[in-house]
């Protein structure tokens, strides 16, 4: 089975590529490398012990994208490609809408033209309104609070409408919670450009000495220890969710959404302590003001994915911390 992986050089995409190849899928990757590098592709090839076609292509360029559809008999697409920094999306909304929407529209056009009917879409827990009761089910009310979140919301709407119009389309929208961790080999992991916005890469870089301390954004939330609570999911568990979504897309048509999370919330302070314990080190941290736009708690009700896809996140917080640090250590050695 041939899978086109857009954004396959990125964090979640590269881990999913590694898993797909390991499980016998044939892949083609298209990525503009705007937020990634060829290192990730080389890392996947090393893990897989196999070569695969890689196209440095911007999905906004319809003609270039079409060449890939013309060159391969694609059975299914996993559409990871997109810009994802919440803060940047507030500063550059037009760039975010243009990138994320045009890419998705071009993909839909190529799918129709080349008779490809299955797509797995990278959505996000940010499509849920912030005032929903926890845990979040797929029926929770939708609405975003930044352009990035709205772009995901709009892409879901585009894909839903396409699935209504094209009766053979099968769209599976996966709403990720907080992906962390790295491939156990340490050959691929999360390598954000610039200073990381997200907690886990910031923790890892602080442990490596790149930053002097972790700033804990607020300790006065209505949570057990006052710090923000999130549903962290190991990226290899997330990768597995994509393979199960491909199975589902093969047997069903229409549009379906699934939460991919563990169902458990972990606070910022708990994550710092877990990282210290798992890796026997000390992390300097201090309490800082709340970050604008953050909510106190977000975690998934993962029952629908478990019941319908057979998905269950299995890796522990300890494994998330160990694999993150393992990757960070290997990266630092190869860079020095």
Number of continuous H segments (helices) and E segments (strands) in the chain:
11, 14
Phi-psi region of 293 (alpha: psi -120 to 50; beta: other; left: phi over 0): left
Q: Residue 286 burial (CB < 10 Å; 0-12/13-18/19+)?
A: exposed
* Residues 299 and 261 sit within 8 Å (Cβ to Cβ): yes
Exactly one of 35, 89, 124, 331 binds ligand UFG (CB under 6 A); that residue is 124
Residue 163 touching ligand NAD (CB under 6 A)? no
**Catalytic residues, which ones?**
148
Report the partner that residue 7 touches, choosing among ligand NAD, ligand UFG, none (CB closer than 5 to 8 A by kind): ligand NAD
Query: Cβ 190 to ligand UFG, closest distance in Å?
Result: 11
Q: Is 121 helix (H, G, I), strand (E, B) or coil?
A: strand
Exactly one of 25, 52, 202, 311 binds ligand UFG (CB under 6 A); that residue is 202
Give the number of other Cβ atoms within 10 Å of residue 78's Cβ: 30
Query: Cβ 329 to ligand UFG, closest distance in Å?
Result: 20
- Of the pair 35, 117, the CB lying nearest ligand NAD is at 35
Residue 68 touching ligand NAD (CB under 6 A)? no
Query: Cβ 75 to ligand UFG, closest distance in Å?
Result: 28
Residue 313 touching ligand NAD (CB under 6 A)? no
Task: Report how far residue 147's alpha carbon sits from residue 149's, in angstroms, rounded to the nearest whole number.
Answer: 5
Give the residues lining the site for ligand NAD (CB under 6 A).
7, 9-13, 31-36, 58-60, 80-84, 99, 103, 122, 124, 176, 178-179
Give the residues lining the site for ligand UFG (CB under 6 A).
84, 86, 124-126, 176-178, 197-199, 202, 214-217, 228, 230, 268, 291, 294
């Amino acid at each position: 089975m041939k899978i086109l992986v857009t954004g396959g050089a990125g964090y979640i995409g590269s881990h999913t590529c590694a898993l797909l190849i390991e499980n016998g899928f044939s892949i083609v990757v298209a990525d503009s490398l705007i937020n990634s590098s060829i290192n990730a592709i080389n890392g996947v090839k090393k893990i897989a012990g196999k070569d695969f076609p890689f196209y440095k292509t911007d999905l906004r360029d319809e003609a270039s994208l079409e060449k890939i559809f013309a060159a391969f008999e694609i059975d299914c697409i996993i559409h990871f490609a997109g810009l994802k920094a919440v803060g940047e999306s507030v500063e550059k909304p037009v760039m975010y809408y243009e990138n994320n929407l045009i890419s998705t529209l071009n993909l839909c056009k190529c799918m129709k033209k080349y008779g490809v009917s299955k797509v797995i879409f990278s959505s996000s827990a940010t499509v849920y309104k912030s005032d929903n009761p926890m845990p979040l089910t797929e029926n929770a009310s939708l609405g975003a609070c930044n352009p990035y979140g709205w772009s995901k919301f709009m892409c879901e709407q585009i894909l839903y409408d396409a699935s209504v119009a094209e009766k053979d389309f099968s769209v599976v929208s996966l709403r990720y919670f907080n992906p962390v961790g790295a491939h156990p080999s340490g050959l691929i992991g999360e390598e954000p450009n610039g200073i990381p916005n997200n907690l886990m890469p910031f923790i890892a870089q602080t442990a490596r000495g790149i930053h002097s301390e972790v700033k804990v954004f607020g300790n006065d939330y209505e949570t057990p220890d006052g710090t923000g609570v999130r549903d962290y999911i190991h990226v290899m568990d997330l990768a597995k969710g994509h393979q199960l979504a491909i199975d589902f897309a093969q047997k069903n048509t229409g549009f379906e959404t699934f939460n991919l999370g563990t169902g458990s919330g972990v606070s910022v302070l708990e994550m710092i302590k877990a990282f210290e314990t798992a890796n026997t080190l000390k992390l300097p941290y201090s309490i800082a003001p709340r970050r604008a736009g953050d909510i106190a708690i977000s975690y998934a009700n993962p029952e629908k994915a478990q019941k319908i896809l057979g998905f269950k996140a299995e890796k522990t917080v300890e494994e998330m911390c160990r694999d993150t640090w393992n990757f960070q250590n290997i990266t630092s050695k190869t860079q020095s």
